[in-house]
Amino acid sequence: MNVKGTSKSCKQIDVQALAVAVFKGEKPNSGFLKDLDKQVGGLISNVIQTEEFAAKEGETAYFHLTNSGLKAKRLLLIGCDERAEYKAAQISQFGGTAARFLRGKNAKTIAIAPRVEGDAQQTAQMVIQSAVMGLFEPDKYRTKDKEKRELKEIVVVIEGADEKAVQRGAERGGIVGEAVNYTRDLANEPGGYMTPTILAARAKETSREFGLTFDVLDQRQMEKLGMGSLLGVSRGSDEPPKLIVMKYEPKRVKRGKKLLALVGKGITFDSGGISLKPGENMELMKYDMTGAATVIGTMRAIAQLKPSIPVLGVAPCSENLPSGKATKPGDILVAMTGKTIEVINTDAEGRLVLADAIAYAKKLGATQIIDMATLTGAVSVALGDVNAGILGTDQALIDRVIDAGKGVGEKFWQLPLDKEYSAQIKSDIADIKNVGGRKAGTITAAAFLKEFADGVSWAHLDIAGTAWGDDAKAYRAKGPTGVAVRTLIEFVERSARDQTS
């Protein structure tokens, strides 16, 4: 699919359909909307005056045009509610809605006019990446009733802006949007088609395509390194574990600079192990490797956007299944750091694989670590599907991640990590235990990870409540959301700018 950016007038864009943002209470009596209304023979003023269209968020009005002043033969108005609230998240929803709606009408070429003043490149990037994300469908394995309609071209229109800036933003938006969809595709794969070995092969393929350094540790290498925590999880499966390592290095790396590591949980299927999960909805546990998918997708985009700082991606991958070989509740595991872990519940496995991965990232020289995982059901209880949880030991890092999320329309809510919570994971027979009881489940999971993140700047993202959308939205399909990919890319690019300024 081709993506473009232009600063030309909407009436000059030769596409099949044009989508335009309209705000609540707005009247077509001046400026852009007045001119557009004139070009389409008063259709806009008519639907507003009759109150058929009130520009509520996500509301649409769709017209086939005849004898208009536009080259486009179809016009879509999309309500964006109050102009004052039209920020990153709303702009993203607008872009996704435009692409999904018009593809549904079998348009092949479309233009999207977000009507935003300010940074043209940033706006263009936001619109295109959300439009590309809007086209993702989870129907890969359907043989009928499959979405076959395709958009061939998307043009973002920011009238009067710097043409080159708009085009740059469009190109970058295409890269980010494709990276998010790549992540979603990985997360959507059934466990039988996405084993640790297959996920490692996909990461290797991506690394080769985009010029990343790639390595993968097998079980034997992990045994030599003493990764007993990760290996304790994989013990119940016939599928061997893998530890994926990807690295982006800019052409010029300044010595003494920080090394950021992104670490993502890669449980390619989670039955709960001996502590077996209920059967209802267990099929969704194919998405328990979303943290690893997020790392791979983010690294894919970073390799193309080429920021001026190095970035390390680490993904510990395993299945969590019950068998005669599986780790049992009450067993003791020895992590790479030598710390001993009493396993209380084998369904608290994500923190076990992350523990060794965080330790390994430190061994590779990471000074700053952001880990991400579909880690706890408790985060869904606390925050629902609106905010992802964030915790850590470096407040400045946490604040920067949250701010990067705001910049791209993703929400993160900080939970406390007071030292008192660590008392809940103290074990009677080992150094720590892998669960701390029913209270503060998301926090005690982070407290467990904190034991392995000492000595580095660290933040933890619990995306269990936001990585999967139970219902389809006007701007997004049901299924994997790709949450945090855009935030992490934004964070990396801001960090690069900060280090070079």
- For position 137, which CATH number holds? 3.40.220.10
For the four alpha carbons of 35, 40, 42 and 43, in that order, the dihedral sign comes to negative
Residue 106 lies in a domain: yes
| Total domains, the chain | 2
3-class DSSP assignment, residue 372? strand
Q: Which DSSP state fits 473? A: B
Residues 66, 201 within the same domain? no
Q: What is the CATH number of the domain that holds 288?
A: 3.40.630.10
| Residue-by-residue DSSP string for 113-164 | E----S-HHHHHHHHHHHHHHHT--S-TT-SSS-------EEEEE-TTS-HH
Residues 191, 77 within the same domain? no
Note the helical H segments in 418-484: 441-450
In 3D space, the residue among 349, 321, 314 whose CA is nearest the CA of residue 333 turns out to be 349
Residue 284 lies in a domain: yes
Tens digit of each residue's pLDDT, the chain (501 residues): 999 999 999 999 999 999 999 999 999 999 999 999 999 999 999 999 999 999 999 999 999 999 999 999 999 999 999 999 999 999 999 999 999 999 999 999 999 999 998 899 999 999 999 999 999 999 999 999 888 899 999 999 999 999 999 999 999 999 999 999 999 999 999 999 999 999 999 999 999 999 999 999 999 999 999 999 999 999 999 999 999 999 999 987 766 678 999 999 999 999 999 999 999 999 999 999 999 999 999 999 999 999 999 999 999 999 999 999 999 999 999 999 999 999 999 999 999 999 999 999 999 999 999 999 999 999 999 999 999 999 999 999 999 999 999 999 999 999 999 999 999 999 999 999 999 999 999 999 999 999 999 999 999 999 999 999 999 999 999 999 999 999 999 999 999 999 876
Residue 258 lies in a domain: yes
Catalytic residue from among 34, 277, 411, 473: 277
Residues 148, 195 within the same domain? no
Q: Which DSSP state fits 279? A: S
Residues 483, 352 within the same domain? yes
Residue 103 lies in a domain: yes
Residues 403, 352 within the same domain? yes
From 160, 192, 224, give the residue that closes a domain.
Answer: 160
> How far apart are alpha carbons 134 and 136 in whole angstroms?
6
Catalytic residue from among 351, 400, 476, 486: 351
> How far apart are alpha carbons 73 and 18 in whole angstroms?
8
Report the b/e string of 215-234 with b at 16+ CB within 10 A: ebbebeebeebebbbbbbbb
Element (H, E) at 414: strand 412-414
**Residue 441: which domain range?**
183-500
Residues 135, 208 within the same domain? no
Question: For this structure, is 251 an active site residue?
Answer: no
Residues 495, 444 within the same domain? yes
pLDDT for residue 145: 87
Residue 32 lies in a domain: yes
> How far apart are alpha carbons 334 and 425 in whole angstroms?
16
3-class DSSP assignment, residue 318? strand
Residues 373, 444 within the same domain? yes
3-class DSSP assignment, residue 30? coil
Cβ–Cβ under 8 Å, residues 68 and 41: yes
pLDDT for residue 354: 99
| Tokens 């599928």 -> residue | 239
Residues 233, 345 within the same domain? yes
pLDDT for residue 257: 74
Token pair recorded at residue 357: 């991965």
Residue 169 lies in a domain: no
Residue 178 lies in a domain: no
Residues 151, 191 within the same domain? no
Residue 168 lies in a domain: no
Residues 74, 17 within the same domain? yes
Residue 22's Cβ-side half-sphere holds a number of Cα atoms within 13 Å equal to 30
Question: For this structure, is 277 an active site residue?
Answer: yes
Chain Cα centroid distance, residue 229: 27
Cβ–Cβ under 8 Å, residues 240 and 472: no
Residues 253, 147 within the same domain? no
pLDDT for residue 499: 84
